[in-house]
Structure 1
Amino acid sequence: MSDVVSYPVSSRTFVPLHVASTPEQGRTTDRATRKDAMRCSSCSMRPMCMPQGLTPEELQRIEALICPSRTIRQGETIFRANDPFESIYAVRAGSFKTVVMHRDGREHVTGFHLAGDSLGFDGVCSGHHSCDAVALEDSKVCIIPFHLLETMCREVKAVQQHVHRMMGSEIVRESSQMMLLGTMSAEQRVATFLLNLSERLRKRGYSPAEFHLRMTREEIGSYLGIKLETVSRMLSRFQRDGLLDARGKDIRILDHDGLIRV
């Protein structure tokens, strides 16, 4: 399938031979190039996770407080429930799920997070994280120590407003999830999930009509409060009705308005 979404990863920069006249100079230049490539100012996700209207000096201050990005391999966690809360994590590339464990050991997915999203705000209230954040694929995160972010918020109004907006979006996300689980049929839940994912990808510059699901049908079912079999049955029904074409994890939306009417 053409134009299937693949989340961005940092590209390796090759140094021209005439620049690296010695091995040591080559290594130094390569390190400098990689460091520059990881700056907020050159990140494609900057419009999603950074406040607008910052002066060059304010942007430099934010870049200075962000720790070097960290690679999280598929299946690994950034943090687990009850870990001490220390930092906010901005997803630079890849995707994550957040999960809580029931007393009987069953896993419940509470959210899916794409490049440009932030993780970790669940720990602000109690000082400890309330869920696990697990990579759905090899991913990169930027680490922002929260005590430094708080200081920045007091000194730069744009940063303070942006943090408030991110916290507010978490409240809206959770209330939307409660409405989805409490008032919608299984068919409506799956349709709403696909429409929301489509819109989130569109905002990031990806195709809203063709994308590759990074999560399993079981994980989607856990998030939507329905069984794996129900998710598969709803996707098959949508395909039969001409609303989408689903081939494994590859999804192509054929009738966006039709999904809205479900």
Structure 2
Amino acid sequence: MSFIDIGVNLTNNRFNDDYEQVIKKARDHRVTAQIITGTTSAESQQAFALAGQFPDLFSTAGCHPHDAKDFKDEDLSLLRKLLQQDKVVAVGECGLDFNRNFSPQDTQLAVFEQQLQLACDIQKPLFLHERDAGEAMIKLLQQYQSKLPKAVIHCFTGSQESLEQYIDMGIYIGITGWICDERRGQDLAQMVHLIPDDKLMIETDAPFLTPRDLNKEQKAQLKSNRNEPCLLPHVAHKIADCRQQPLSELSQNCFNNTVSFFNLPIQQ
């Protein structure tokens, strides 16, 4: 079995001192590729530079809704240039977050729409963030649906209604260790079986969302309870259990979906 982590924040400062060891440990746990998330133009540049150092790393380029308030025209130009690179495999992380509203909602909508237009222009897939904004997200995606490339909702945590709407639109769903959280992840655990085999991908969102159901031995191997891509098989195991599906089948499907979706030059 091989796994691909579609969302790792490897440019986060919690990885500054040991990112090479983190990458190696992930490989040792059969995580054969990682996609580094870009959340601002500067971080997207860093993610691209880091991906260039390792054959099994790739990156995205985008502006997270939290950072929409600081987005400028030159940032859009920079993202467009980055997305010409083969190692940069998706537009994002972009989208809407009406839960925390670190940027005003109208600003989030405007910056997200610019990135939707960019994705339509260059036809690279979308790596989407949505929190408590399903209705607005779906409305915008529907406006561009005829031109949109493929899209994945990263770290899905929404309602069953939103999930079903995304699936009806042909959108892929990324699942993280949120599903391992006995406090917040119960709804997700109960609805994850609704995702078609050919629309599911897996991710850690490291260093965030450390699975809460790790055993003592797993926790002891982590640095300051930091989530790491080596835990992706643990997340996959939980998803497989919730879907009542063999882990080997789930991992094969997710691997194939990810390679095809991001057009990755890798084989299992």
With structure 2 as the length reference, what TM-score do the two structures score? 0.29
Bigger share in strand: 1
TM-score by length of 1: 0.30
Larger Rg: 1
